Structure 1
Amino acid sequence: MSEVAPEQVAEALRDVASRLGGFFALDTTPTRRPPDARLTHAGLAARAQTVNDHYATAEPRIGASIAHLGLAARLWSPVLACALVHGIVPTMSTVEWSGEGSALHLPRPEGRHASRLPSLADAVFAEVDGVLAAVESGLTVKVAPRLLAGNSASALVGSAAQLLRSRPDLRTDVRHVTQELLETGRLRGTGRITGPDLAFRRRSCCLFYRAPGGGKCGDCCLVR
């Protein structure tokens, strides 16, 4: 049984979405969705193909990595914000695609009180990484595990930096939890924070530079 009433979780998620913007959105509107809405490797593969089509590249790893990075950002943003703004860690086990794009839907909003958890960072990591690991386990494209971990770390710090810009009053908590998360599980060793506003340098590359017309991201290990 959820420690937080579903309506409270849904309201907290609506609030962070309205205050922080689209990447923090996690739709909780009750609706009947088709079976292919489930967050599976097939769904990620379809989005990866969309990326490859958009950039006119035939290299499967590029689409897989960029689609994975987008998914990671969509997961970290609402979970981290909800935890730090409202003190609620949403349960992500039922998360699914909201449509053909990268937006997500949470059909059964449940959550736990952050203040009652032994470690907030561990709880947030478990919710997000559990979803990512399940999707990654079925990837048919060979992508280096450290690249995927780096994508997750990059998405985490990007989400945290946006939260910090919107809620500077949470600076201490945001920086502390982000640093703890970067030392948790497979995120350990993926990169380091290089500035007070959560500038970040990762130790792997998302491969965007290999797409025609692509470039290097601000946290890329290839940037000198």
Structure 2
Amino acid sequence: MTGAGPLRPPEAARAPAGAVADALAEVASLGGFFVVRVGGPGEGWQRLARSYAAGFTDLAEAVARRHRTGEPRVGVSIAQLGHAARLWSPALATAVRHGIVLDLDGLQRAEDGPALRLPRAAGWYADALDDLAVPALYAQVTRQLQALAGGLRVKVAPRLLDGNSASALVEAARALLAADPAARAPLTGLTTRLLATGHLRGTGATTGPGLGFRRRSCCLYYRAPNGTKCGDCGLAGTRVR
């Protein structure tokens, strides 16, 4: 699989909505990036497709103001990185802890911030997907990020955005490992396979049993007035201006 692709898992592998909702409720306890709300009133939420088509402008501008940077691409990159974390964290956690691949179609975003909501919980049992489980998980998250990239009004290198996705994936894996060290083997295996899939291939490499990561790009955070190079930055050890 080389891109987000049209992959759609078979309906026979569907998990009951209740099981998916329970899984999302459980993984939400791991931290803010793992939270995806389910159901409830629709007021105050917008379809992510609308936000993507608008270039994620409101969140990118809010990030730029918060970090006091006049470079629009810095705000875009950091906003996209945060969104990637909010996608990968619950998707990876429900797969590892509950054996469920989330169906992210219909995902919504809060009108006043980055929080995410599914009007109805949906997903597939990973065991029932067999060899399609990893491509399906990859496709559900990457399809969202490719739609975001397609609507951007600011030019940002595609491989920088892919690197952000990879960094968010590995950070989610590290958080899961810290919460459940016994899950090291399946978690490491799944993360490694995802990093070898499609747009994530070649973005970086894990290092050591603690799922350290060194990416081959940079999220540009160091260019904000008070920013620094991140721990996995491809520019670590180099002097940049």
TM surpasses 0.5: yes
Structure 1: tracts of 5 or more residues without a match: none
Tell me how large the CA RMSD over aligned residues is: 1.4
1:127 to 121, 140, 143: 140
Cα pair 2:55 2:152 within 8 Å, conserved: no
Question: Are the aligned partners of 1:6 and 1:108 in contact in 2 as well (CA < 8 Å)?
Answer: yes
Q: Is the counterpart of residue 68 in structure 1 residue 75 in structure 2?
A: no
Please name the residue that 1:209 is paired with.
222
Aligned structure 1 segments of 4 or more residues deviating by more than 3 angstroms:
none
2:173 match: secondary structure: helix
Q: CA deviation at 1:56?
A: 1.6
Three-state SS of the structure 2 residue aligned to 1:105 is: strand
2:120 to 75, 97, 108: 108
TM-score by length of 1: 0.95
2:27 corresponds, among 16, 19, 38, to 16
Q: Deviations over 1:10-68 (max 9, x none)?
A: 111001112x122111110322135x612122262110000111122111100000000
What percent of counterpart residues are identical? 50
Cα distance in 2 for partners of 1:6, 1:223 equals: 44
Quick one: distance in 2 between partners of 1:57 and 1:25? 28
Contact persistence 1:120–1:177 (CA under 8 A) = no
* Separation in 2, partners of 1:132, 1:54: 23
Could you say if the C-alpha distance between residues 166 and 99 of structure 1 is closer, same or farther in structure 2, counting changes exceeding 3 Å? farther
Which runs of structure 2 are paired with 1:139-158 in the superposition (5 Å)? 139-158=152-171
Secondary structure in 2 aligned to 1:14? helix
Q: Which residue of 1 aligns with 2:46?
A: 37
Instruction: Check the 8 A contact 1:48/1:64 in 2, yes or no.
Output: yes
Counterparts of 1:163-174 in structure 2, within 5 Å, are: 163-174=176-187
Structure 2: unaligned runs, 5 residues or longer:
1-10
CA distance in 1, matches of 2:100, 2:43: 26
Relative to 1, partners in 2 of residues 1:158 and 1:219: Cα closer, same or farther, differing over 3 Å?
same
Separation (CA, whole Å) in 2 of partners of 1:183 and 1:23: 23
CA contact (8 A) 2:169 2:191 kept: yes
Using the alignment, how far apart are the partners of 1:109 and 1:55 within structure 2? 34
Q: Distance in 2 between matches of 1:17 and 1:213?
A: 30
* Deviation of the 1:112 alpha carbon: 0.3
Aligned to 1:137: 150
Q: TM-score, normalised by structure 2?
A: 0.89
The answer for the alignment partner of 1:85 in structure 2 is 97
Q: How many angstroms apart in 2 are the aligned matches of 1:91 and 1:120?
A: 12
Structure ranking higher on relative contact order (CA contacts 8 Å, 6+ apart): 2
Work out the CA distance in 1 between the residues paired with 2:99 and 2:213. Answer: 25
User: Are the counterparts in 1 of residues 174 and 211 from structure 2 also a CA contact under 8 Å?
Assistant: yes
- Equivalent-residue separation in structure 2 for 1:82 and 1:93 (angstroms): 16
**How far apart, in 2, do the equivalents of 1:195 and 1:100 lie?**
39
CA distance in 1, matches of 2:42, 2:55: 18
